[in-house]
Amino acid sequence: MSSYDVVVIGSGPAGYVAAIRAAQLGLSVACIEKWRTADGRGINGGTCLNVGCIPSKALLDSSHRYHDTREELAVHGISTSAVKIDIAEMMARKDKIVGQLTGGIGQLFKANGVSGLFGTGKLLANRQVEYTDHDGKISVLDAAHVILATGSLPIDIPAAPVDDKLIVDSTGALEIASVPKRLGVIGAGVIGLELGSVWGRLGSDVVLLEALEDFLAIMDKAIARETKKIFTKQGLDIRLGARVVGTQIKGKKVHVTYQSKDGTEQVEIFDKLIVCVGRKPFIDGVLAPDSGVQLDERGTVAVNQQCETSVPGVYAVGDMVRGPMLAHKGSEEGVMVAERIAGHSAQINYDIVPNVIYTHPEVASVGLTEEQVKASGDAYNVGTFPFAASGRALAANDTDGMVKIIAHADSDRILGCHIVGPSAADLVQQVAIAMEFGSSAEDLGMTVFGHPTLSETVHEAALAVNGNAIHKANRKRK
């Protein structure tokens, strides 16, 4: 029986980061990954690198460049003709990026002394892990500590069973071989909007069917309204309160029946249908009946603030546990757990975890929404600034969106920041850093920002919190 200080099950962003950090801290580490390529070769990276964050961003970037070349260059005085998209080449580029990054994890394992194992891992009693390699050979690993990091998988719905041909999930949507003339997307959340944007830019007529009546319900409502307006202008047909009740394959078309918010049933016909209604923790086969690890009422692994499960010495991180399913949240949990195992007192500030939708423009947020602050009863101030008033955004012909900053009325401490606009993912991180250090809106407003930059929109929004914006008219205080 092989023995390790730490055995990690899963090598996605939470698992491989935990394994590397634990090894850096002098612990003996093995990391088990079940993922393998179509030809049977073991590959690290989990969902994020193989069929999630990375490949989707590659397609988002390629499709955005294609759309810009066709639709946006004329304003710069650049004329083009006969612009075409080679879907096979676009997919090959995506696969090359995935291969480069997933292969890099193996190199990092080797450099840090992590034993990378390909196959499946199951937690047994007494922190033992049953390891089955891809050839079916079973062995047992003895671990002083175990980190569960098996991630998540798409949720299926009975009304739209995936056949991986005409009806696909978010994984299948990354492998569509040609541009569908008419594309249906069930779910107008993060994944649905990103995938809908990819194929919409490439020429599909995209309809998003969202069961909820609120668009991006978890986001600040002002930003959600602005985002919907922008996406609608781009051509995405977003239908709210549209609950899909059935699908039928007729010939090479998908007939989708949905109930609209007024209770009537309607039918839409699509060339392809993508099901993006959320994700659920991947737990099947990971926990033996006598492992002792408990699940919570939502079906996620129950953990404390330090990600320790009901079994001492067994931890769970990333999509398996409470909180948003975000790769960066899982990575930081992996680091925290590795450091705590090594005797350090690491922790995560869960109040400051950025959330991003990688459409164009991007949508990003950190901290509390205005609705959450209002519900708390605390007095607050809001500052906003439009990208239309940014010299840098105007020069780039990229002026849709706005920055919104919320601060406590008495302390002026920044409580949240919400952005829809160009480079929102990078801009919101500036505010996240400020919030981590307890900055006030005045602190951010007194900071010198380079000119001309998109980040000046953050500066002006911070100034606007207290009625001091320079490049827009300030609201009169009551």
Q: Which residues are designated catalytic? A: 451
> From CA 348, how far away is CA 246, in angstroms rounded?
42
Helix (H) / strand (E) containing 101: helix 87-112
* Residue 134 contacts residue 119 (beta carbons within 8 Å): yes
What is the Cβ-side half-sphere exposure of residue 369, based on CA atoms within 13 angstroms?
14
**H helix runs in 215-346, sequence order:** 221-234, 327-341
The whole-angstrom separation of Cα 424 and Cα 36 is 34
Interatomic CA distance for residues 146 and 341, integer angstroms: 10
User: Which amino acid is it at 140?
Assistant: V
Q: What are phi and psi of 401, to 5 degrees?
A: 110, -175
Which alpha helices (DSSP H) does 342-476 contain, by range?
370-376, 391-395, 424-436, 441-446, 456-465
The residues, ordered by sequence, that sit 6+ positions from 269 with a Cβ below 8 Å of its Cβ are: 182, 253, 254, 255, 256
- Token pair for 29: 């580490």
What is the C-alpha radius of gyration for the chain, rounded to an integer number of angstroms? Answer: 24
For residues 356 and 425, the answer to whether their CB atoms sit within 8 Å is yes
* Cα(344)–Cα(337) distance, integer angstroms: 9
Whole-number Å distance between alpha carbons of 76 and 78: 6
Return the structure tokens found at 105: 């994890």
Which contiguous run of DSSP H or E holds residue 88?
A: helix 87-112
Angle of CA points 401, 329, 385, to nearest 5°: 20
Residue 350 and residue 348: Cα distance in Å, rounded?
A: 6
- Helices in 307-397 by DSSP H: which ranges? 327-341, 370-376, 391-395
- Per-residue DSSP letter, 32: E
- Helix (H) or strand (E) segment spanning residue 61: helix 53-71
Question: How many Cα atoms are found within 13 Å in the side-chain-facing hemisphere of 222?
Answer: 19
Instruction: Check if the beta carbon of residue 286 is closer than 8 Å to that of residue 121.
Output: yes
DSSP 127: G
Tokens encoding 177? 């071989």
